[in-house]
Amino acid sequence: MLGIGDDAAAWKPSGSHLSVITSDALVDGVHFRSGRMSALQIGHRAMAANLSDVAAMGARPVLATVALGVPPEAHEEQLLDLYRGMQALASGHGVRIVGGDIVRAPALTLALTLVGEVRRSHLRRRDGACPGDVVAVTGPLGASHAGLLLLDRDLPVAPELARRARDAFATPQPRVREGRWLAASVHLHAMMDCSDGLATDLGRLARASGCGATVEAVPVDPAACAVAQALHEEAAAYALDGGEDFELIVAIAPRAFAHLSARFEQHFGRPLLRIGRMEKREGLRLLEASEERELASSGWDHLRP
Q: Which residues bind its own copies (CB under 8 A)?
A: 1-2, 5-13, 15-16, 18-27, 29-31, 52-54, 56-57, 59, 63, 65-69, 98-101, 103-107, 109, 111, 113-116, 118, 120, 123, 125-127, 192-193, 208
What is the closest distance, in whole angstroms, from the C-beta atom of residue 302 to its own copies in the complex?
A: 20
Taking the least distance from each CB to its own copies, the nearer of 15 and 35 is 15
What is the closest distance, in whole angstroms, from the C-beta atom of residue 205 to its own copies in the complex?
A: 10
Report the Cα–Cα distance between both ends of the chain, in Å, rounded: 58
Taking the least distance from each CB to its own copies, the nearer of 116 and 226 is 116
**DSSP letter assigned to residue 263:** H
Q: Are 9 and 2 in contact (CB under 8 A)?
A: yes
In this structure, are strands 96-104 and 60-70 parallel, antiparallel, or unpaired?
parallel
Taking the least distance from each CB to its own copies, the nearer of 67 and 155 is 67
| CA dihedral sign, ordered 37, 170, 92, 18 | negative
What is the closest distance, in whole angstroms, from the C-beta atom of residue 176 to its own copies in the complex?
A: 12
Q: How many other CB atoms are there within 10 angstroms of residue 298's CB atom? A: 12
Taking the least distance from each CB to its own copies, the nearer of 59 and 135 is 59
| CA dihedral sign, ordered 166, 169, 173, 178 | positive
Taking the least distance from each CB to its own copies, the nearer of 21 and 151 is 21
Q: Which helix (H) or strand (E) holds 167?
A: helix 159-170
What is the closest distance, in whole angstroms, from the C-beta atom of residue 21 to its own copies in the complex?
A: 5
What is the closest distance, in whole angstroms, from the C-beta atom of residue 10 to its own copies in the complex?
A: 5
Cα atoms in the 13 Å half-sphere on the side-chain side of 207: 10
